[in-house]
Amino acid sequence: MPRPKNIRRVFNIPEISYFKPRGIPLMELEEVTLSFEELEAIRLTDLEGLYQAEAAEKMGVSRQTLGRIVDSAHSIIADAVINGKAIKIEGGSYIYGKSNKLRCRKCKNHFILTDGLKNSHNCPKCFKHKNIKENIK
């Protein structure tokens, strides 16, 4: 069984989330999906010009993981441009903003916000709600 993906930090959610070739009706196009973390990796490395180690640190992943995310994004974008496909930007395993590291004010437990905890914001140790404080690093 594969291990679960770490949640990546994303700092830029685009207002426009769909691109398609001009002059071809949408119903005739094949569609590829680019995740928010793939787009963020491209933004940091290609647009901002950061080294992969710096971009990886900002996203909260290893340099090797960032390299795999960038490679995946490049192949998705190349496929869409060369083969005339639409690009839909959505989904992924990410959290928007500075940190997903939290600390419970009651029991002082440090934990990382995961998909299972994302909606509840409960401490996984003492299960208290509204006693969570974000750690800023």
Q: What is the mean pLDDT of the chain?
A: 81
pTM of the full structure: 0.69
Q: Which residue has the higher pLDDT, 62 or 131?
A: 62
Q: Find, among 122, 119, 93, the residue nearest to 105 by Cα.
A: 122
Strands of 18-19's sheet, edge to edge?
A: 18-19, 86-89, 31-34
131 pLDDT above the threshold of 70: no
- pLDDT grade for 88, boundaries at 50, 70 and 90: very high
Q: Please, are residues 32 and 88 in contact by the beta-carbon 8 Å criterion?
A: yes
The token duo for 29 is 């196009």
Predicted local distance difference test score (pLDDT) of residue 97: 72
- pLDDT grade for 96, boundaries at 50, 70 and 90: confident
Predicted local distance difference test score (pLDDT) of residue 15: 87
55 pLDDT above the threshold of 90: yes
Residue % of the chain over a pLDDT of 90: 45
d(CA 134, CA 132): 7
52 pLDDT above the threshold of 80: yes
Domains and CATH numbers, the chain: 8-96 (1.10.10), 101-134 (no CATH)
Q: Please, are residues 41 and 75 in contact by the beta-carbon 8 Å criterion?
A: no
The token duo for 75 is 């192949």
